[in-house]
Copies of this chain bind each other. A is one copy, B any other.
Amino acid sequence: MKASLEDIARVAGVSKMTVSRVLRGASGFSDETRDRVLQIAQNLGYVPNRLAAAFGADQASTLVGMCVPRLTSGLFGHVLDGVDRALTRLGFQLMIGANNHSLAEEEAWIRQVVSWRPAGLILSGRTHTPATVDLLRLSALPVVEIWDLTTRPIDLAIGFSHVDCGVEMGQHLIRRGRRRIGYLGALARADVMGAARLQGLQQALQQAGHPLEAVEILHDAPGFYAGYYGLEMLLARAPELDAVAFHNDEMAIGGLAWCQKCGLRVPEDIGIAGWGGMEAASILPRRLTTTQVPTTAIGKAAAEALVARLQGANIPEVTVLPTRLIPGETV
């Protein structure tokens, strides 16, 4: 990678400042100069050095860091997709990391990323270590916290309320006549947001006079298989349950598979509810009752809010993109 502004300038017989202006699309040069410079840059195979640009003038950074809980999550895949498309369109680059539901890993990742002087950060969730919060405050970086709402975001927040998701689902189950309800989750004490949904569920059931009967939280990835064997465990302990709410759709679909294997009829013998609104939920033989989450929209909104903020726009501190409970045929 040899050619620099200087090289182009020399060949073009102008100063490197003029070349810089042309290449950045600024103003202050004649059409003729522009054409010549562009031509030469092309010939020389010039590749700009963003490192130098961002270093020399820190507001020139077009790097955005984003941290998700897990890179293998279907839901966050869509969030990432929303972010990526928006950022690409806006001329930004995406640096990514997973925190594996650990605040300490998030902190470590943020430290690394911040040292690259990004233009801004997108974080998943509202809980961070105190050191993380300090670091972010000190760096004065634009930060969008997505996925979960927070009354007092570090900077901006875009998401929805997980507690409300739980409440809604609880009310739905009661409305459907379910009375002995269980919950199957995963990733004990790591997934704060799953815990919030559980809490909302408990609240609603309590209030309806039919408190949650059994809870099982697996120490496992919240996938199909965990739902499959987890439901077996849960029902072994609490065979009388007439409905089970799952951490997410993948686990719920796993649960459905187990029901089918055992000859348990859904929804007659037992009701099954998921969360997340994955595509498969809508084409199962019986459409899964679930909560649809605006994943791509959140990603897009987060990226756009961040960039708008960089450009000085006034963005509301908290943006709510509501979820929607989709009554299916499984409860």
Interface of A toward B, CB cutoff 8 Å: 1, 45, 47-52, 54-55, 61, 63, 70-74, 77-78, 80-81, 84-85, 88, 93-98, 109, 111-117, 134-135, 138-140, 223-225, 228, 250, 253-254, 257-258, 260-261, 279-280, 282-285
B72 touches A81 (CB 8 A): yes
- Main SS at interface, chain A: helix
Tell me, in angstroms, the Cα distance from A220 to B80 when the chains sit together. Answer: 19
* Min C-beta distance of A254 to chain B, whole Å: 6
> Which 10 residue pairs spanning A and B have beta carbons closest together?
A71-B81, A51-B55, A224-B280, A50-B115, A71-B80, A72-B77, A257-B283, A96-B96, A228-B283, A224-B279
Please pick, from B50, B95, B223, B260, the residue contacting A93 in the complex, using a CB distance under 8 A.
Answer: B95
Which residue of B is nearest A50, CB measured?
Answer: B115
CB distance from A227 to the nearest CB of B (A): 8
Q: List 27 A–B pairs whose Cβ atoms lie within 8 Å, in order of A's numbering.
A: A1-B117, A1-B138, A45-B134, A45-B138, A47-B111, A47-B114, A47-B139, A49-B55, A49-B115, A51-B51, A51-B55, A71-B81, A73-B77, A74-B77, A77-B77, A80-B96, A81-B98, A93-B95, A93-B112, A94-B95, A94-B97, A224-B279, A225-B282, A225-B283, A253-B280, A254-B280, A261-B285
Output the least CB separation between A261 and chain B (Å): 6
Q: Could you tell me the distance in whole angstroms from the C-beta of A286 to the nearest C-beta in chain B?
A: 10
* Cβ–Cβ < 8 Å partners of A228 in chain B: 283
Q: How distant is A24 from chain B, measured CB to nearest CB, in Å? A: 13
For A117, give its contact among B49, B115, B261 (CB under 8 Å): B49
Q: How far is the CB of A248 from chain B (nearest CB, A)?
A: 13
Minimal beta-carbon separation of A80 from chain B (angstroms): 5
CA distance A93 to B73 in the complex (A): 20
Q: How far apart are the CA atoms of A70 and B296 in the complex, in Å?
A: 13
> Using Cβ atoms and an 8 Å threshold, which residues of chain B touch A260?
285
* Given A97-B94, A283-B228; A81-B70 close (CB under 8 Å): yes
Give complex CA distance A78, B109 in Å. 19
From residue A78, how far is it (CB to closest CB) to chain B in Å?
A: 6
When the two chains form their complex, are residues B71 and A84 in contact, meaning their CB atoms are under 8 A apart?
A: yes
A52, A93, A135, A258 pick with most chain B CB within 10 angstroms: A93
Instruction: List B contacts of A138 (CB < 8 A).
Output: 1, 45
Alpha-carbon separation in the docked complex, A39 to B320 (Å)? 43
Closest to A74 in B: B74
A54 neighbours in B (Cβ, 8 Å): 51
Q: Is the CB of B111 within 8 A of A88?
A: no
A282-B225, A285-B261 known; A109 and B81 CB under 8 Å? no
- For A116, list chain B residues within 8 Å (CB): 50-51, 63, 93
